[in-house]
Structure formats: structure tokens, C-alpha cells
A = this chain, B = another copy of it.
Amino acid sequence: MIAVLKDGVSDVQKKNLVNWLKKQGVDVHLSEGQFQTIIGLVGDTSKIDIDLLGGLEIIESVTRISEPFKCANRRFHPADTVVTVGEGSGAVKIGGGNFAIIAGPCSVESEEQIVGIAKAVKSSGARLLRGGAFKPRTSPYDFQGLRGEGLELLRIARRETGLPIVTEIMSAAHLDMFADVDLIQVGARNMQNFELLKELGHADKPILLKRGLASTLKEWLMSAEYIMAGGNERIILCERGIRSYDSYTRNVLDLSAVPMIRELSHLPIIVDPSHATGKSRLVKPMSMAATAAGADGLIIEVHNDPEHALCDGAQSLTPAQFEEVASKVYSIRNLIA
């Protein structure tokens, strides 16, 4: 961390500042130029509050050189983390060279629907089943999910297919209900729901942490750090598009996040092309692109109910379309792996 002092700071002020910084447990190097004084802070600066330091009257600017995340930082954990989801013969590994596709409907609607989709996507190469039971909707008047009943239907689908199940949690108060969910998803809107993250830090479950709507990579990794600081290091990151000023796609899928996160962190990273684009016809090219960029997996929305197609989201594929996407994705994965 580097701090630049303002012009005209007195020697007493400098001395007080240096003493205060040393008390925080870091080494302090003072470098005085003709016009500016620069302070280099070396050691474990992750516990120094950059806003607090930058807020001092005598400081012109502060720049972090090393990243503020520790548990999630590749510098301190060079080897890729491999997260195992599910148990026994159905367990699936993600990260460290292990690639997997998660597929399923936006919302769990009925046993017939979820079991039907689960069987279809399994046969096309999906390794995990997703399905929303608790739904974060912008409007209180939109369908909020089947909640507890939805979780029960997911369990049935798991029993029928052996696929581990992935579903979103919206409140720490629901944690008991999620006791046998295989991979608990934290949605984009809760990425900085810090009280939830802290609770998940004590859960014995892998977590799928989606990137926030307009989150920086650093904020995202700091949210992972919240969970890891509590002891739970089984985290899979999920890029799902970031807010933009253009309306052709719902979000901008930031695929450069894949190699960039891989450089910054040892955690696996997967990509959600369905939510990112909001258009089913873009799912195939963006799934292929995400795979070529080196993602550790994909999470793709699939619906299976032609008679009620009215209720399917703009971003969902049919099982037949999913099969085509999965086939292309695996051929690219085989080429680059």
C-alpha cells in the first residue's frame, strides 16, 4: 500500500502518522521527494482500512498494491481449488481442470416439470440440476417461487436422476431448509448481503457466489472472502453479466473476468450465459465463448414444456437446443483442455 502525503505536512504530523501505521502491524518506508512525500506500507496490509487512511486530512491519495483478499488470493494459495458438489457416486468436481455443466429451469414448477427436465439435461451431458425455489423478482407482484415445496421437488428430481441440486438462498433464516441442498447459490442481488455471507461462512456446504449486478472483481472476491473468513472455503464463482447502458442484451457478459479471476484467485469460476444475455438465441455462442475463455463450467436455463411455452423465459433453451449447445461446448472443451 502506498500513501502520498499532501504538500506542507509537518514533521510532527509525519511522525504521528508513521507511529500510528506501525501500530497497525505493517512496516513503513518513508520516501521524501522535493515536492512530495511517499509512504510505502509493507507486510499484511489487508487489515488496514483504506477509506480510513485516505480520509486523513494530511493524505493526498492511497493506492493498494497488494490485493485486500487473503483466503481467496492465488498469491497465497497457488494451486487451483477443486470444489466437490454432492456425495457418493453422483459427486461432481469443479475447478482445477474439472469442467461441469449445470442445467435446469428458471423456476421449479411441478414434479413432472423438474423431473422431466432433469432427465433430459442429464442425458445431454449436464452434471448438476439447477432450479429456483425462492425467486428474487424485481416486482413483489411477480411469481416468488414455490419456496419449501420447490426444494422438495428438487429432492425428488435428485432421487430420480442422481444429479446434485443447485438452488438459490435468499435469507439466512432459510438455512435449515437448505440442509440437503448440494450447492447453495447466492444471487447477484445478495452478493453484498454481508450478514448472509457470514452465516454461509459457517455452513458445511459449497457455495455458488454470483457476481453482483455492477460489482468489481475486487468486491466480488471480497464477498468470497467474507464466506472464507468464516471457515467455508468451498466457493465457486459465477460470472453472470454486468449492468450496461445498452438494452439489446440484459447485461454485458464480461468473459475477460474468467482469465482475470483465474489470475487473482484459486477459486473455480463458471459462467451463466442465460441470465447474462436474457435471450435464448445468444446462449449457444456465449456458452462456446465462455468455454473457450477457460471457464470451469456453465449454468444454463432449460425448459421442457411445449404446451405451456407461454410461461418460459426468454432466456431458456428447450432440451433439444440444450443438447446442441452441450455438444458444441464439450467439443471446444476437449480441444482446449
Contact = CB atoms under 8 A, between A and B. Distances in A.
Contact of A285 (B193, B259, B309): B259
A232 interface: no
Contacts of A65: 4, 36, 38, 60-61
Contacts of A252: 242, 244, 252, 254, 256
Nearest to A212: B213
A280 to B, nearest CB: 8
A126 interface: no
Contact of A214 (B213, B248, B276, B278): B213
Interface stretch (A116-124, A157-165, A328-336): A328-336
Interface in A204-246: 212-214, 216-219, 222, 225-226, 229, 242-246
Contacts of A60: 65
Contact of A331 (B27, B57, B335): B335
B310 A281 contact: no
Nearest to A71: B140
A46 B253 CA distance: 29
Given A171-B172, A248-B216, A293-B285, A314 B55 contact: yes
Contact of A42 (B34, B260, B277, B312): B34
A281 B263 contact: yes
Nearest to A241: B256
Contacts of A57: 309
* Listed residue (A4, A55, A312) with the most chain B CB atoms within 10 angstroms of its CB: A55
Contacts of A331: 335
B56 A309 contact: yes
Interface in A239-294: 242-249, 252-256, 258-260, 263-264, 276-278, 280-282, 285-286, 288-294
A114 to B, nearest CB: 18
8 contacts: A27-B33, A46-B139, A216-B248, A217-B248, A243-B245, A244-B252, A253-B254, A255-B289
Given A52-B310, A54-B314, A140-B222, 17 more contacts: A27-B33, A27-B34, A36-B65, A46-B141, A49-B139, A52-B311, A61-B65, A63-B63, A138-B219, A170-B193, A170-B194, A171-B196, A242-B252, A244-B254, A246-B254, A285-B294, A292-B332
Interface of A: 2, 4, 17, 20, 27, 29, 31, 33-36, 38, 40, 42, 46-47, 49, 51-52, 54-57, 60-61, 63, 65-66, 68, 136-143, 170-173, 189-190, 192-196, 198, 212-214, 216-219, 222, 225-226, 229, 242-249, 252-256, 258-260, 263-264, 276-278, 280-282, 285-286, 288-294, 309-316, 328, 331-332, 335-336
